């Protein structure tokens, strides 16, 4: 199964520490060797990098681990292929435009029958069930709301659509427009909140430690979501199955069960 990573913050923050752990799971500490990708939001823009090679041995991944790209929102994914061949076009996160915003999506799991669902406005480029689900999600949102609705209406609609997709199989997923992060848990998803007073954190997958008190201000807030915990000395909250979370500016703002 694939592994997910997301970050929501209230100030521009780099995700190198967490990505260092995730990338090791792509061929070093884990078997997710079928490609990886990461998307960084910067104002209305979205910078995305993809590689069909294992992240643990990828020169591009090494660059990301060393270059401090700061963002308020990040989505990343390491792939273990089950639907669709190993290819650049099948690496997550996938991206599309809706209501003048760049949307990104990453998925862990399998969705039986998703490709029988008709698509009107969006079409997959690759062959994964994940990308078809993403296109279907945006199709439904565009049909429901020709113009962007309020945050409350949008959160409710996405929660309902996530629930629909969870009925087809395993749907652990991340979706963002750069402003809000929408997360679905079918089987496994957890998060850690980092806010003052900040302390030290040590990665599980790599001999790396950071003292966040030296890297932050008292007003900083960051939430990291992952398939499984990335650090050994922080308190990770496991999301219950059949739950949708909405995060914004480093805080959980909505939870739908």
Distance CA 42, CA 47 (A): 8
Active-site choice (2, 46, 135, 185): 2
Q: Are 74 and 15 spatial neighbours (Cβ–Cβ below 8 Å)?
A: yes
Look up residue 188 and give its two tokens.
């496994």
Distance CA 22, CA 65 (A): 10
Annotated active-site residue 2? The verdict is: yes
Number of Cβ within 10 Å of residue 240's Cβ equals 10
Instruction: Give the single-character DSSP code of 213.
Output: G
Distance CA 91, CA 50 (A): 7
| DSSP H/E element including 163 | helix 151-166
98's torsion region: left (phi>0), alpha (psi -120 to 50) or beta? beta
Q: Is 201 exposed, middle or buried (0-12, 13-18, 19+ CB in 10 A)?
A: buried
CB contact set of 5 (below 8 Å; sequence gap of 6+): 15, 18, 19, 22, 74, 75, 76, 77, 224, 225, 226, 227, 230
Strands 3-14 and 70-78: antiparallel
Residues annotated as catalytic are: 2
């Amino acid at each position: 199964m694939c592994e997910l990573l997301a970050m929501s913050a209230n100030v521009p923050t780099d995700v190198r520490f967490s990505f260092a752990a995730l990338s090791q799971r792509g061929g070093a500490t884990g078997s997710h060797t079928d490609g990886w990708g990461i998307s960084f939001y910067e104002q209305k823009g979205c910078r995305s990098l993809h590689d069909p090679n294992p992240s643990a041995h990828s020169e591009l991944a090494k660059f990301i681990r060393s270059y401090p790209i700061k963002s308020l929102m990040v989505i990343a994914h390491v792939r273990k292929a089950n639907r669709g061949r190993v290819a650049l076009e099948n690496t997550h996160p996938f991206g599309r435009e809706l209501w003048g915003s760049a949307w990104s999506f990453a998925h862990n799991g399998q969705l039986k029958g998703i490709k029988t669902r008709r698509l009107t406005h969006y079409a997959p480029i690759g062959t994964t069930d994940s990308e078809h689900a993403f296109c279907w999600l945006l199709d439904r949102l565009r049909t429901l709301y020709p113009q962007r609705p309020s945050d409350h209406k949008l959160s409710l609609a996405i929660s309902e659509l996530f629930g629909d997709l969870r009925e087809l199989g395993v749907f652990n997923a991340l979706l963002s427009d750069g402003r809000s992060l929408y997360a679905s848990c079918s089987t496994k998803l957890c998060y850690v909140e980092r806010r003052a007073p900040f302390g030290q954190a040590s990665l599980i997958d790599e001999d790396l430690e950071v003292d966040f008190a030296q890297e932050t201000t008292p007003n900083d807030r960051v939430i990291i979501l992952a398939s499984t915990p990335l650090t050994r000395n922080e308190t990770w909250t496991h999301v219950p199955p059949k739950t949708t979370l909405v995060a914004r500016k480093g805080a959980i703002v909505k939870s739908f069960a």
